[in-house]
């Protein structure tokens, strides 16, 4: 088949054929997940779909289009459905990948995510997230890599390289300043120029220069009073001119805030569609008035066409494929290995681990996460995994035949009750609920659309089949497995009533205050009890109306309808699970307590109120009580952030498991029994308490003014802050880069070669030998930190410049090299608007964490003459 365009540059040839209206139609999405189809005249051989232009109701129907689909997210290709969609592989969260300190693992995961995206008919993945962790209260920290920009930049670059090796575009996000989720749609973040350059822009700069990502997503917050989508300094001057970025710039969903400013600043694509800001009449008027130049429209359209070309939409990927669930064994193995490698062993007194299963008779598995697979956090990182392995499933299937396994939940951590599902029947006689939609609020006439849902939750968001909806009836027939005065929770986005057996049981008279929290499953709910009878069918009906006014800061939620019905049996709610857990712990050889956050407590859209484990101290009480009952208590924490550990001195073992993907239960067990020798290192600093952090009083819900947040810590983020408090009562509990192993290592023969000086691009190379002194194989991370000379410049005590991870057999020796150039030595000089390097004597610390206590070697070099360069 011949080319549908003239020979030569496909993008330029196509751009030359498009009318102005057609070019403008490219600058916003077609729907939630797809870019607008590219209109072409008289190209019948192109196998694409024929649809009407979303920007012009009079577009001729014979035009043909190419579409490119995108998909969330950074730890799995979810596909087009936000809930209950086509199943997908769930990989470890980026914070878990960062804890591996293994660029190779990040690249392999990126490559596998590219393969997964293709199975969803998508050739652009919305990830990775490379914003730095600023506070342990960040609700979305788990989705990003680290508090350190260098670690984030190195791991994210390799992730992007792996992903794009499958010809699937990466979308690095959220550019810029998306470190908190509290009021993220409107908050104004005050960040110094130096902190921006050295901390918050740095990982983006590294990925752009080292990995050439095909897409970049702008964020919601204002930076120093201006939204990023309208800021030419960030999009044009820094990103394109200084860093040489040649990819597409899209907005986060609903984060476009203007027409003229965003187009002129460099935002190529408004997402999602249909457009709110870039309709053809509005843009045309701006062009005619001279506020937008025609060549600017060409540049924005060129970026979209270039992305289509890169992803193969003009050649072998013309058709949009149906989503498929393909569960590959090699992906399973990778997820398990990566999840295990990211687990960080933080305490192992008396070498309790690894467990010798042959010497165990009974193990008590306790805690609210023992039968919960904490594979991912909430929000856009969530997905319908092919499967999820809980710790309980891993233990019972792999060691249960040799060891008696007992279980107790030990604590309730409900934020929203679980969806009612078991025992429900919809109007078609199938399991689940039925939603019927009306275009009037009086439920007059027949519903214009009907959907089925598997459980007690529905939403109209992203459902284009129900446009014009005003009211919904959400119904099921419930046949309880057991009689009881059971517990229910109820909430809707708009005004609503809940009936059971035609009797009004609950009423929500006003719309929810925050529609986004409802979408993410963290909304406030009405709670009550109802006496259900076994053997009787109970009719449950929710009637809900669309909110008349906006009830949130994101316009995409306006007019949406949602309902949730949660359920907990009386027996489960009223059982004394703490006493049960303590009793089982007393009778066991080992008690393994699984605690942490779930999707309701750690999610996009909401930051945490404090560093404590949820809920109301129940998990802390569980651990303390179990530790008193059993001296061999192992605590496994699954969060994306540091939490307070008031019981740490009372337990011999503590490990941090993060969100390790669908194989999380197996990965945790692999480490506990020694199938994997732990080698994870903290990609964050672990404070003793939140008050010790640099951001205390200036983050999220903690901020004195939640609409304006000042980055008061400036460049002193994470360990850069705690280095200033080493040896004081604010010293960090566990330092950045820290993690234990079941073996020991020795670093020897350190050497430094090379130079950094004006007018050259030379660099420094550090080398040495690492020896495994133990009797089992293991891996260690050699970390290199630069200590600048004492000058008038206010600089952190040290900063990470590189690292090397080595896997060694018992007794094996291996050489390593760590290299860096002047960019890792420089600081941002605001007076010059350039990177500057001081003259003087510099020191390199080689160690196994950022703490001076873990320093293994010290090397020095000098820079004779100060100089500046860049940007």
Helix (H, G, I), strand (E, B) or coil at 618: helix
Cβ–Cβ under 8 Å, residues 648 and 654: yes
Burial of 55 (0-12, 13-18, 19+ CB in 10 A): buried
Give the list of residues 6+ apart from residue 323 with CB closer than 8 angstroms, or none: 79, 80, 85, 86, 119, 120, 121
SS3 content of the chain, % helix, strand, coil (to 5): 25, 25, 50
- Distant-in-sequence, close-in-space partners of 605: CB < 8 Å, separation ≥ 6: 139, 181, 184, 378, 379, 516, 517, 519, 520, 522
Element spanning 116, H or E: helix 103-119
Nearest to 488 by CA among 438, 545, 562, 414: 414
Please, which residues have CB within 8 angstroms of residue 691's CB and are 6 or more apart in sequence? none
DSSP 51: -
- Other Cβ atoms less than 10 A from the Cβ of 235: the count is 25
Q: What is the distance between the alpha carbons of residues 857 and 816, in angstroms, rounded to a whole number?
A: 14
The Cα–Cα gap between 635 and 854 comes to: 24
- 10 Å CB burial of residue 42 (0-12, 13-18, 19+) is exposed
Q: For residue 650, which phi and psi values (nearest 5 degrees)?
A: -95, -5
Per the annotation, the verdict on 252 as an active-site residue is: yes
Contacts of 177 (CB under 8 A, 6+ apart): 131, 189, 191, 200, 219, 221, 223, 228
Q: How many CB atoms lie within 10 A of CB 399?
A: 17
Closest to 784 (Cα-Cα) out of 858, 710, 708: 858
Residue with tokens 């660099």: 763
Pairing of β 344-348 and β 471-478: unpaired
Neighbours of 535 (CB within 10 A): 7
Beta bridge partners of 716: none
- Which backbone phi and psi does 557 adopt, to 5 degrees? -90, -10
Candidates 148, 181, 231, 252; catalytic one: 252
Question: Annotated active-site positions, please?
Answer: 252
């Amino acid at each position: 088949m011949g080319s549908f365009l003239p020979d030569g540059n496909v993008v330029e040839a196509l751009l030359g054929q498009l009318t102005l209206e057609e070019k403008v139609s490219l600058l916003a999405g077609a729907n939630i997940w797809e870019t607008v189809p590219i209109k072409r005249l008289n190209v019948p051989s192109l196998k694409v779909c024929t649809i009407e232009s979303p920007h012009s109701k009079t577009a001729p129907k014979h035009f043909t289009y190419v579409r490119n689909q995108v998909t969330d997210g950074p730890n799995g290709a979810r596909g087009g459905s936000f809930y209950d969609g086509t199943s997908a592989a769930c990989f470890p969260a980026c914070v878990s990948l960062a804890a591996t300190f293994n660029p190779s693992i990040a690249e392999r995961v990126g490559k596998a995510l590219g393969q997964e995206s293709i199975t969803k008919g998508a050739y652009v993945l919305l990830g990775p997230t490379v914003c730095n962790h600023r506070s342990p209260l960040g609700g979305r920290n788990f989705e990003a890599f680290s508090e350190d920009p260098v670690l984030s930049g190195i791991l994210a670059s390799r992730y992007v390289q792996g992903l794009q090796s499958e010809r699937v575009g990466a979308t690095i996000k959220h550019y810029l300043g998306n470190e908190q989720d509290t009021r993220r749609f409107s908050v104004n973040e005050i960040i110094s120029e130096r902190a921006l350059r050295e901390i918050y822009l740095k990982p983006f700069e590294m990925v752009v220069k080292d990995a050439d990502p095909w897409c970049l997503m702008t964020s919601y917050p204002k930076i120093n009073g201006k939204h990023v989508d309208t800021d030419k300094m960030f999009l044009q001057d820094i990103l394109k001119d200084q860093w040489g970025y040649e990819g597409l710039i899209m907005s986060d969903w609903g984060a476009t805030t203007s027409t003229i400013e965003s187009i002129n600043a460099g935002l190529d694509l408004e997402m999602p569609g249909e457009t709110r800001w870039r309709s053809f009449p509005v843009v045309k008027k701006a062009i005619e008035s001279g506020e937008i130049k025609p060549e600017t429209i060409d540049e924005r359209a060129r970026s979209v066409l270039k992305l289509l070309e890169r992803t193969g939409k003009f050649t072998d990927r013309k058709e949009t494929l149906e989503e498929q669930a393909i569960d590959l064994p090699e992906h399973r193995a990778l997820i398990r290995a990566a999840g295990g490698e990211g687990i960080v062993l933080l305490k192992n007194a008396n070498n309790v681990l690894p467990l010798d299963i042959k010497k165990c008779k009974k193990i008590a598995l306790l805690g609210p996460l023992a039968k919960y697979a904490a594979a991912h956090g909430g929000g856009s990182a969530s997905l319908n995994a092919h499967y999820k392995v809980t710790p309980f499933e891993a233990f019972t299937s792999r060691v249960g035949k040799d060891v008696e396994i007992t279980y107790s939940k030990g604590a309730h951590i409900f934020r929203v009750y679980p969806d009612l599902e078991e025992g429900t029947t919809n109007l078609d006689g199938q399991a689940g609920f039925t939603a019927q939609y009306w275009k009037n609020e009086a439920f007059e006439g027949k519903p214009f659309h009907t959907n089925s849902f598997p459980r007690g939750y529905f939403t109209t968001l992203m459902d284009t089949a129900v446009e014009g909806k005003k009211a919904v009836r959400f119904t099921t027939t419930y046949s309880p497995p057991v009689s009881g005065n059971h517990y229910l929770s109820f909430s809707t986005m708009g005004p609503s009533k809940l009936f059971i057996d035609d009797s009004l049981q609950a009423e929500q008279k006003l719309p929810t205050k925050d529609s986004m929290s409802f979408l993410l499953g963290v909304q406030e709910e009405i709670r009550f009890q109802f006496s259900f009878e076994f053997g009787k069918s109970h009719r449950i009906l929710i009637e809900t109306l669309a909110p008349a006014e906006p009830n949130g800061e994101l316009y995409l939620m306006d007019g949406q309808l949602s309902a949730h019905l949660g359920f907990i049996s009386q027996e489960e709610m009223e059982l004394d699970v703490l006493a049960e857990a303590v009793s089982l712990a007393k009778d066991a050889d080992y008690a393994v307590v699984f605690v942490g956050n779930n999707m309701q407590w750690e999610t996009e859209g909401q930051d945490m109120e404090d560093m404590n484990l949820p809920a109301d101290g129940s998990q802390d009480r569980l651990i303390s009580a179990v530790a008193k009952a059993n001296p061999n208590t192992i605590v496994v924490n699954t969060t994306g952030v540091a939490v307070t550990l008031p019981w740490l001195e009372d337990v011999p073992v503590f490990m941090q498991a993060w969100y390790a993907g669908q194989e999380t239960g197996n990965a945790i067990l692999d480490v506990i029994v020694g199938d994997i020798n732990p080698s994870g290192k903290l990609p964050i600093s672990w404070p003793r308490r939140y008050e010790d952090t640099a951001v205390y009083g200036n983050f999220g819900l903690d901020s004195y003014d939640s609409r304006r947040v000042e980055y008061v810590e400036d460049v002193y983020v994470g360990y850069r802050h705690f280095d200033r408090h080493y040896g004081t009562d604010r010293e960090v509990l566990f330092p950045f880069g820290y993690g234990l192993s079941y073996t020991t290592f020795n670093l020897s023969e350190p050497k430094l070669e090379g130079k950094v000086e004006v007018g050259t691009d030379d660099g420094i190379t550090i080398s040495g030998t690492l020896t495994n002194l133990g009797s089992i194989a293991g891996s260690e991370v050699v970390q290199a930190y630069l200590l600048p000379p004492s000058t008038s410049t206010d600089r952190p005590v040290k900063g990470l410049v590189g690292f090397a991870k080595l896997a060694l057999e018992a007794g094996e020796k291996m050489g390593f090299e760590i290299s860096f150039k002047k960019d890792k030595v420089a600081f941002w000089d605001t007076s010059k608007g350039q990177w500057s390097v001081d003259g003087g004597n510099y020191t390199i610390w080689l160690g196994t964490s950022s703490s001076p206590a873990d320093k293994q070697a010290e090397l020095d070099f000098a820079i004779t003459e100060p100089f500046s360069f860049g940007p």
